[in-house]
Structure 1
Amino acid sequence: MCAASLPDTATFPFETAVVAGVGLIGGSVALGLRQRLLARRVIGYDANPEVLREAQALGVVDEIRTSPGEWLRAADLVVLASPMRTLSPLARDLAPFLSPAALVTDVGSVKSGITAEMEALGVRQFVAGHPMAGSERGGVTHARAALLENAVWVLTPGDHTPLTALSRARTLVEALGAAPVVMPPDAHDALVATISHLPYLASLALTHMVARDERLSLLAAGGFRDLTRVASGDPRMSRDMVVENKAALRGALARFRRQLERLEADLDDPEELLAAAAEGKRTRDSLPVVKRSLLPPKHDLVVAVPDQPNQIGAVTQALGASGVNIKDIEVLAIREEGGALRLGLESPEEVSRAAEILRAEGFEVRGRG
């Protein structure tokens, strides 16, 4: 069941793209692929035939499939976009049929588990991803390509991710209008535990307080509604999200408790409480509005690497073992004999220290302003 075909002479970055899980984010990715002419045909895969029929009727996908099979071997791009609880089972279902050359990515909000799962399945061209975009209204009917524009899209390569796969994933994200940021899976999970999963639990706690005292609901107006907005998300999907990231979330909760205890102590010291309030206002007012969470520029170090397995892992492990924190990674070039990585670091001093460490490991490096 195909939509109107495009001219055979047209060229596309991908011939056949498969979006597995055609909901809000998966549907938005599929629309982006179609509207920006990034794939000749987009196939929607979902266990729910009604969702697929709706997606095709809305022009989100060209074809629909409800079960895996040999048809998957034609795909040169596969996007796993199902809910968190089904992401690993979905990967296990599709993996036996994937072409070794296909770029595979996902859009889940927790990265360590799916990265380990795909490595165990032997899917080498996998680059885990998380577009920091969404809506209170779910489902393919609310999907739109514009949802991804200007959004930060985190890519989290594993230790064995090929440089070519990371480069292709960055190019795809940029072509969809988003801003790629690269970091290790565990670093991503620790960050989203604080900026996404912790606020969800805080919203639940506040709304539960209102639910248990009906007098509070009479006064819970605009400010309270804004603060607790994320509690309106799908309960099951939100539950699965925080449970998947529970190790990192427990750490974030411990830090949050310490902050609350400090503020409680400041109630007896008005000047300290004023300083805390001023810091909170400065931080809140400095948050970007249009360019969602884009990171500030970092100091760069460029590393020449051979196009061999585990090169990203060798670089990050060497620096991590010495306490050097990598803020961003970019693949600058890929050639048959190798390529180059740009490492975004915190300061010129960190650049010098990282260069010394990597030279000792046999890498060629240079600074970049």
Structure 2
Amino acid sequence: MTAPKSLQDTLFDTAVIAGVGLIGGSLALGLRQRGLARKIIGYDASFDALQEAEALGVVHEIKTKPGEWLRDADLVVLAVPVRVLIPLARELAPFLNPSALVTDVGSVKSSIASEMEGLGVRNFVAGHPMAGSERGGVSHARAALLENAVWVLAPTDQTPLTALSRVRTLVEELGAAPVVMPPDAHDSLVATVSHLPYLASLALTHMVARDERLSLLAAGGFRDLTRVASGDPRMSRDMVVENKAALRDALSRFRRQLERLEADLDDPEELLAAAQEGKRTRDSLPVVKRSLLPQKHDLVVAMPDQPNQIGLVTQALGAQHVNIKDIEVLAIREDGGALRLGLESEEAVTQAADILTREGFEVRSRR
């Protein structure tokens, strides 16, 4: 982790995190641990959440109502679910310092970008860190959640370049990778890679729920495919409804893909070509890459079905200062499974392979 900055290097004097849940709490911890803000104030509709955030050391102070105190903030982050993002913006806007840098972390960008322009918040930059967890709340917040994540910044034609530059610097200092695109482009892309998979997961889990025999056969692959259905139902519902126009377009394209695959059932060669294309695409997208991060260098480790095997792998590499950038369990079987390690370079792959081979593990690189 990056060492904390000195007070002279601090980016912000007072940062306000409006919404101290998983993402807001993780962002606050990142600001605090990396020394990016002298004071971090938590604002939330839930007093219990604020008390928990203060007790955990996530924020320095807590506030339950907007007021003149907001004028001291030079950074304000709107970190609430999309359903209440615009009401929150309207609530805080009258008290914001005109020079304050304002951003958000919502999963839909066009609506909030338009709203903030209408409210006259000049230094607003719409943002979306592509990070999260099935477990919500500030108790599960951690600064590392945002590290190596793609963080979309979605300026409009009215966004000052200085504001965009400052938010980009903030994102980079938090250890994430900023990617700039217009709000409507973001919403279209997220509809395909995030919101559509959620609806597909719902459809598949509903099929299982309506036939108990299917649940007997729903093994690890099915659980991996439908993982996003385990998210908070209300937040997920609000997310897809807020982006329904782009999502309808994505659903239309998805139906065409399914229809093409259905037709390919009568043409084994075409189905094989489709399967090979799918494998190439999936194999080129490690989990941590999130489609836009630089490609990681992978090492696959065969895992015996014995206790603490993952721990042995990470300890052996850590002792030799090999940095694991990403880790993914590829398969679990009765006789063991496999572990994918995302490393920094081909040299790190070679070094890790030598270390683990000496420890008795079977390894292979994956390109």
TM-score interval, normalised by the smaller of the two chains: 0.7 to 0.9
Counterpart for residue 150 of structure 2: 152
* Residues 273-321 of structure 1: CA deviation (Å, up to 9, x unaligned): 0000000000000003444332569xxxxxxxxxxxxxxxxxxxxxxxx
Residue identity in the other structure for 1:14: F
Residue-pair matches, total = 292
Identity of aligned residues (%): 84
Tell me the amino acid that sits aligned with residue 31 of structure 2. L
User: Distance in 1 between the 2:212 and 2:65 partners?
Assistant: 48
Q: Matches of 2:94 and 2:24 in 1, distance apart? A: 22
Q: Aligned ranges for residues 154-303 of structure 1 at < 5 Å?
A: 154-294=152-292
Q: Which amino acid aligns with 1:184?
A: P
TM-score w.r.t. length of structure 2: 0.78
Give the structure 2 partner of residue 67 of structure 1.
65
Distance apart, 1:221 and its partner CA: 1.0
1 or 2 for the larger relative contact order (CA 8 Å, sep ≥6)?
Answer: 1
Whole-Å separation in 1 of the counterparts to 2:7 and 2:177: 30
Q: 1:224 to 1:8 in 2, by over 3 A?
A: closer
Whether 1:121 and 2:119 are equivalent positions in the alignment is: yes
Tell me, yes or no, if the aligned pair for 2:18 and 2:80 is still in contact at 8 Å.
yes
Q: Tell me if structure 2 keeps the 8 A contact 1:155–1:182.
A: yes
SS in structure 2 of the partner of residue 159 of structure 1: coil
1:132 alignment partner in structure 2: 130
Partners in 2 of 1:65 and 1:143 — Cα distance? Answer: 19
In the alignment, which residue of structure 2 is the partner of 1:45? 43
Distance 1:268 1:10 in 2: 68
Question: SS at 2:133's partner residue?
Answer: coil
C-alpha separation between the residues in 1 aligned to 2:5 and 2:213? Answer: 64
Q: Deviation digits for residues 111-162 of structure 1, max 9, x if unmatched?
A: 0000000000000100000000001110000000000001000000011000
* Counterpart contact for 1:46–1:65, Cα < 8 Å: yes
Any conservation in 2 of the 1:150–1:292 contact (CA below 8 Å)?
no
Match of 1:84 in 2: 82
The equivalent of 2:299 in structure 1 is: none
User: 1:190-209 CA distances to partner (integer Å, 9 max, x unpaired)?
Assistant: 00000000000000000000
Gap regions ≥5 residues in structure 2: 296-367
The DSSP-based 3-state class of the residue aligned with 1:51 is helix
User: Cα offset for 1:12?
Assistant: 1.5
User: What secondary structure does 2:175 align onto?
Assistant: coil
Unaligned runs of 5+ in 1: 1-5, 298-369
Work out the CA distance in 2 between the residues paired with 1:292 and 1:31: 22
Specify the SS of the correspondent of 1:248. helix
RMSD: 1.6
